[in-house]
Amino acid sequence: MNPKVQRLFAAAILLGLVLSPAAHADFEKGKAAALRGDYTLAFKEWSESAAQGDLGSQTQLGGLYEKGRGVEQDAAHAAALYRKAADRGYAPAQNNLGSLYARGLGVPRDEAQAFEWYTKAAAQGHAIGQFNVGAALHLGQGVTRNDAKAFEWLHKSADQDYAAAQYTVGVLYLHGEGVTRDAAQAAAWYRKAADQDYARAQAGLALLYRTGNGVARDDASSRTWYRKAAELGNAEAQYAVGRMYEVGAGVAEDDARALMWFQKSADQGYAAAQCALGVVYQKGYGVAADKVQAYLWVSLASAQGDMCKDKLKPLEESMSGEELRRAKAAVKEHPPAVRDTDD
């Protein structure tokens, strides 16, 4: 055997990168089970191969503990498993451990530690690690803000077809942060991410088509991309599709469909949709008029800014004491909004 190859092989064994046939089989069985949604079996298989020192299995097992899939959720144990693999140089584990530090899950929140682990993963070419380094540099989280360096790392990640990075590179081009402003480049990067079904990029591309920014204005393309993003759960796009049905933009007017899309967006906390939904209930468009529901949605929108505040007082003045009491109770009891997608 070539001495150089022999040294590399010996180093791989020392790091635990060469799997025994049994460990490799357990890892693959766990992977297949997880893809089927059978996390209990995945936990069993990965536990066995992780105990043999397999870095991939340790990392995947940490993911099950982090998310509580196939086992009771335990972020501290997830961190311990990630650290085992991360300390031996496994890039996915390094990135995942950084993510726990960034969020304070299973470990004390420490953005500097998060950045350190992200950097270790990124230096090995790990696309998500590169994205996280770029994002931290752009936001100044755990490191001094540096948009130029942020752009470099995000571009590295985007070049590996990581959709979130492609979208973010587009955002930086659109706003001229870390790079010369170029709306055409923004549209091109949005398109790369949009073609991978990244909903935020689809919604962003729709807006560019609607305004003719970086691309020729094209209302039909705008509607197409808004609908794609809406169907993936993007709140901004759901509101836009609701508006399409409300005014008959490229589709037949349909108050019931407008209501449906406004509701989906409003349930995710999108203020413009909450305000629109309040008006729908106040006027009775596509649904029976309901001042209590109108007050609920107008109030929730108003709490996020000024866009709907002018509607709140007139609505209150039109309500009976009992209606207002029930409406305020509904606001108090309303559950927190949960976003459905990569928003």
> What pLDDT, in 10s, does the model give residues 53-90?
999 999 999 999 999 999 999 999 999 999 999 999 99
pLDDT in tens, 155-205: 999 999 999 999 999 999 999 999 999 999 999 999 999 999 999 999 999
Q: Where are the domains of the chain?
A: 242-340
For the ranges 20-34, 45-59, 162-176, 312-326, the lowest mean pLDDT is seen at 20-34
What is the model's pLDDT at position 11? 33
pLDDT in tens, 207-261: 999 999 999 999 999 999 999 999 999 999 999 999 999 999 999 999 999 999 9
Number of neighbours of residue 120 by Cβ within 10 angstroms: 21
Separation between Cα atoms, residue 178 and residue 186, nearest integer Å: 13
Separation between Cα atoms, residue 127 and residue 94, nearest integer Å: 12
3-state secondary structure 68-118: CCCCCCCHHHHHHHHHHHHCCCCHHHHHHHHHHHHHCCCCCCCHHHHHHHH
**Residue 14, phi then psi, degrees to nearest 5:** -60, -40
Query: What's the one-letter identity of residue 317?
Result: E
With a pLDDT cut of 70, the percent of the chain lying above it is: 92
